Amino acid sequence: MLVKWIRCTVVDRRGFERGQRKWAGLPGEPGFRGQGGGWSRIRPDVAHVFTFWESRTFYDSFMARSHDRLAAAQSGTFKNARTRLFDHRFDVKTGFEPRFTDADLVRVALCRVHEERAEHFALMQEKVWNPAMAGSPGMIRGLFGEAPGNEYLVLSMWQAAAEHGKYREERIERLALRAQTEADVEALTGDVVELEPSWTV
């Protein structure tokens, strides 16, 4: 599965949200698996959208045919758009599905990892971080994705902000020490996204 993550700064909120509803036509596209997104809890003018495709081939075909027509509705409503593509490598918890209706919050982390530490980083994600997240109350599902250039995406869906907050306070520091995260990671950026139900396709 291919994961597309779009992050942008919105300059016309009403226009952007109106345009976002035009993506409702996506389910007719071959290989489309799901889409959802919302607003950053940290920077209220930043929007995140996550789209899932069966494969790169289906995605490329969509980009060549229908993308520009659907995207036209949002033209001029945002700036500084950054798009990244990741190959799904493994699930956090089990049976990841690109469904957003049962979650309120998405935590997204982008990790750029030292080349010689990439294997260790992925192993620690599987053996240390995944079980801890999977065992946290309120964590619904998630995935670990990989992009060229030793970039990794960790995406987790949560029932509520309070539950995600508890996980952060209680576990992060201890887990980071155990996983030697500091030695692996060159740069880490992320955000907490409050999901907007009307954006779910």
Per-residue pLDDT of the chain (201 residues; tens, 9 = 90+): 999 999 999 999 999 999 999 999 999 999 999 999 999 999 999 999 999 999 999 999 999 999 999 999 999 999 999 999 999 999 998 789 999 999 999 999 999 999 999 999 999 999 999 998 888 889 999 999 999 999 999 999 999 877 777 777 677 888 888 999 999 999 999 999 999 999 999
Tokens of 192: 């907490």
Residues whose CB is less than 8 angstroms from the CB of residue 66 and which lie 6 or more positions away in sequence, other chains included: 25, 29
CA dihedral sign of residues 78, 82, 84, 90: negative
Question: Which residue, chain included where needed, has tokens 């993308």?
Answer: 67
Does the reported pTM lie above 0.75? yes
Tokens of 143: 């995935």
User: What CATH number did the domain enclosing 27 receive?
Assistant: 3.30.70.100
Range of the domain at 123: 2-199
Neighbours of 23 (CB within 10 A): 19
- 90 within 8 A of 126, measured Cβ to Cβ: yes
Q: How many domains does the chain have?
A: 1
What does the alpha-carbon distance between residue 138 and residue 9 come to, in Å, rounded to a whole number?
29
What does the alpha-carbon distance between residue 52 and residue 99 come to, in Å, rounded to a whole number?
10
